Amino acid sequence: MSTGKPLAVVTGGAGFIGSHAVDLLVDRGFRVHVIDNLYGGRERNLERHAGNADVVVEIRDIRGVQPDDALFGGARYVLHFAGIGDIVPSIEAPADYMDVNVQGTVRVLEAARHAGVAKFVYAASSSCYGLAAVPTREDHPIDPKYPYALSKWMGEQAGFHWHRVYGLPFNAIRIFNAYGTRSRTSGAYGAVFGVFLRQKLAGKPFTVVGDGTQTRDFLYVTDVASAFVAAAESGIAGRFWNLGAGKPQSVNRLVELLGGDTVHIPKRPGEPDCTWADISRISAELGWSPKVSFEDGVARILADIDYWRDAPLWDPASIEGATKAWHRYMAKEASRP
């Protein structure tokens, strides 16, 4: 193994954002230890590091991480991306989300604490804000609307508790809408990019929710990874930031860039018309800014579209079946005062 290089641990490092973080850390001269159970990740996401002694990959679950886990020994940074990321299924399997995203995070926090890491950076979610006022600042009230959002916020709060009680240097980044190459291709009905890309490969119409005028603060994945590394390398601890491009794009604009026919399906209760991160804090405190335009990011994805060929192919009927519980429970939640 190489010596003299600092070590970083990346949980979920074979996944979407995690694998890009591994790339960036290696390019910056780090050794990287990856832990991933391949639930949402793929070993091919790390293929550029095959044969590189500086990258050690262990295929296992974060819930099995022990306080004295050897994978964390000597680590300078921990970037924690591992967790269940599909939103819609959290309505039907809330206990699983709490187990992985909360208790799994606690396991990683304990390993980082015992290893004496210099910084722990947690991948939090903007879904903690619920149906938020926009642009959304960090002082916006917390109002998670579904179990995924709650579990990610509870994991974040555990991190800040470890910071206060045990002195673990901890930061959190509340990601708005990350997109890019290597995004999930799991069997669950999920993010718009994976759904649309598989539909495009099959020559099927894009299933646009509502009228497509809803906007999302899409941020390309390499810009997400650079923010996490900046948060790790900063002298700041005990802080959280919102992360987006600060320039929301409509679903209709995405369809225009991808190119194809559309079919419209019912709007889902509890989902915002607009997500929009106020990124003034992270820009000022970390000197971070987005580099990849939406048009360039979509072009990069289209150049690698075969990645999504084995993803599930969704149509209006299968989406209706996958979202029945969401409509049932979220309609009740939305009706409450």
Tell me, what CATH number does 134's domain have?
Answer: 3.40.50.720
Do residues 52 and 23 share a domain?
Answer: yes
Is 288 domain-assigned? no
Which helix (H) or strand (E) segment is 254 a member of? helix 251-258
CA dihedral 93, 12, 127, 102 (to 10 degrees): 60
Task: Yes or no: say if 201 and 260 are a contact pair by the CB < 8 Å rule.
Answer: no
Q: What is the pLDDT of residue 332?
A: 72
Tell me whether the omega of the peptide bond preceding residue 135 falls within 30 degrees of 0, making it cis. Answer: yes
Active centre residues (catalytic): 148
Question: Exposure of 137 by Cβ count < 10 A (0-12 exposed, 13-18 middle, 19+ buried)?
Answer: middle
Q: What is the pLDDT of residue 337?
A: 58
Segments in the chain below pLDDT 70: 1-3, 333-337
Is 284 domain-assigned? no
Q: What is the pLDDT of residue 1?
A: 47
Do residues 173 and 203 share a domain?
Answer: no
- Cα–Cα distance between 191 and 264 in angstroms, integer? 16
Is 15 domain-assigned? yes
Q: What is the pLDDT of residue 236?
A: 98
Residue 71 CA to chain centroid, in angstroms?
22
Residue 137 CA to chain centroid, in angstroms?
19
Range of the domain at 267: 192-216+248-274+293-335
Q: What angle do CA 20, 148, 246 make, to 5 degrees?
A: 55
Q: Beta-strand (E) ranges in 81-231?
A: 119-125, 170-175, 177-179, 206-209, 215-216, 218-220
Q: Beta-strand (E) ranges in the chain?
A: 7-11, 31-36, 55-59, 77-80, 119-125, 170-175, 177-179, 206-209, 215-216, 218-220, 239-243, 249-250, 262-265
What total number of domains does the chain contain? 2
- Residue 139: phi and psi, rounded to 5, are -90, 10
Q: What is the pLDDT of residue 334?
A: 61
Q: What is the CATH number of the domain that holds 301?
A: 3.90.25
Which helix (H) or strand (E) segment is 232 a member of? helix 221-233
- Cα–Cα distance between 54 and 10 in angstroms, integer? 13
- Residue 171: phi and psi, rounded to 5, are -130, 155
Give residues with Cβ within 8 angstroms of 283, minimum separation 6: 289
Do residues 51 and 155 share a domain?
Answer: yes
pLDDT in tens, 244-258: 999 999 999 999 999
